[in-house]
Chains A and B, each alone.
Chain A
Amino acid sequence: MKVQQLSIFMENRAGRLAEIMQLLGDAGVNIRALSLADTSDFGILRLIVNDVDKALQVLRESGHTVSLTDVVAVEVPDHPGGLASVLNPLCQAGVNVEYMYAFVEKATDKAVVIFRFEDIEAALGVLAKAGISVLPAETVYTL
């Protein structure tokens, strides 16, 4: 139920994001979801792609600092209070969300949100117990 996310270190310089996108595009890697965290000096680009191994290889070969992080893709009801209904059980169980971002596309009538948890196992347990749908990795990569 875990999805592998690529995290890439970037300096805050003009053209940096475009370079990485070009690199992945040339390698035929398709981006499923992305988020960019930034500070005054640097940023962290987080990507869910269709071909994790390929993306990792081209990024490393071109000298980027990349790491793989396990995240969880959760189906969230697409109506007011939908996200809250997912977060509430997590909150009650004391599971911490490090960061999250929404998926670009929708597979069903539900939205997909990527969660990075402090304790992924505990989070998965809570979500299963609350009957919240978690998408398998294969589904996510091919969305």
Chain B
Amino acid sequence: MIFNKTIECMERAALRDLQGERLRDAVRRAYESVPFYRKKLDAHGVKPSDIRGLDDIVKLPFTMKEDFRDNYPFGLFAVPLREIVRVHASSGTTGKPTVVGYTKEDIEIWSETVARTLGCGGGTPDDILQVAYGYGLFTGGLGLHYGGEKLGAMVVPMSGGNTKKQIMLMQDFGTTLFACTPSYSLQLAEEAAVEGVDLKGLKLRVGYFGAEPWTEAMRAKIEERLPVKAIDIYGLSEVIGPGVASECLEQDGLHVFEDHYYPEIIDPATGQTLGPGQKGELVFTCLTKRATPLLRYRTRDISSLDESACPCGRTSRRMARITGRTDDMLIIRGINVFPSQIETVLMKVEGIEPHYLIVVDKTGALDELEIKVEVSEQLFSDEVRKLEALRQRIFEEMRSVLGLNAKITLVEPKTIERSLGKAKRVIDKREVK
């Protein structure tokens, strides 16, 4: 189902006119209301009046993840706090989270683009959508929830975890659509097998999967174990949350809802814009968002854009499945984790910077995070309980900062491989390439 035919199937020339007009407005709003953007554009020698159309976007400087940190918590807001009706946050590069705000209009736009996402996968008002993304500061749960209501589906706000109950409600309610991380869908399938539940007998037909990188191989596995078409959805909180782009039933690239979120692909090394089909870093400009305007935000995600027509009838460009990142950010169970955060925690716990190694692996379907910490003489104690207490302190602190339960393993010094003085910090054993 195409949720908004007028926009989603708009002639490309008309769409470009709309985008150009919205871009002018977005730049003017950012410049006039956010000191950060005014300073940045001034330093770059660009005035809002220099942006006359879409082609002028390349004149604008980039916005980075660090800019959110530097303006924590509300420095990037363009409207007074009384107009903000919601905030969400994701992990930042250091201890402080990346905060984004939403006005009533923003929530409306977001809900609309998530409704389009659900429509892309074949969702209709007759459907029952079970949301198994976490509800909270993370945008996944509430984002899908509002989109589901906007579509007119019946929303079951299960949130993450509690797998047995997820399965029970799927059976009892006759859930037809569900949304979660791709790895959680496999965990659900495993749990169902243990419980002796035949998933093929359920009414499920579409799964909306995002918030962590996954592969075609994983899609095949999911579609084999669950009676669903597995739809890849994309989003990030800095832009809005889920609902930035979604695959349609063709499963051949993700339609970007570019009347709101304008995509570019750049060469991450030079910042030069790349043409259709060329692989590079995905950059987004929010054309309509009021609370936290966003100009040319560098996502660090690697993708490419396809301008060719899609058989589904939507005219928006399609972005390729994310194939990697330009930085060292890890996405574990849908949560952003930076090695620098782990370093900061270890520093905080013992006041020194120990050698450590981050190992990400899958046990069953779920991502597992293990942090190996070399025990230096400063950390060492001849008493077992003190070492166990150290391990527990690191565990608790990691849980509070990362929002993840990490396995903390104490290892002997020099057991973590070093190359040319720079230690290898991350081993990702998951199959995602």
Contact = CB atoms under 8 A, between A and B. Distances in A.
B411 to A, nearest CB: 6
Contacts of A85: none
- Chain B contact patch, size range: 10 to 19
Contacts of A5: 382
B18 interface: no
B122 to A, nearest CB: 48
Contacts of B376: 65
Interface in B248-298: none
B383 interface: yes
B221 to A, nearest CB: 32
Contact of B380 (A11, A67, A98, A116): A67
- Chain A contact patch, size range: 20 to 34
A39 B412 contact: no
A41 B415 CA distance: 14
A141 B431 CA distance: 55
B377 A65 contact: yes
Contacts of A39: 384, 387-388
6 contacts: A9-B387, A10-B412, A37-B384, A42-B411, A64-B413, A65-B375
B433 interface: no
B82 interface: no
B412 A65 contact: yes
Contact of B384 (A44, A64, A65, A69): A44
B410 interface: yes
Contacts of A63: 412-414
Contacts of A46: 382
A63 B412 CA distance: 9
Nearest to A13: B412
A44 B377 contact: no
B348 to A, nearest CB: 21
A50 interface: no
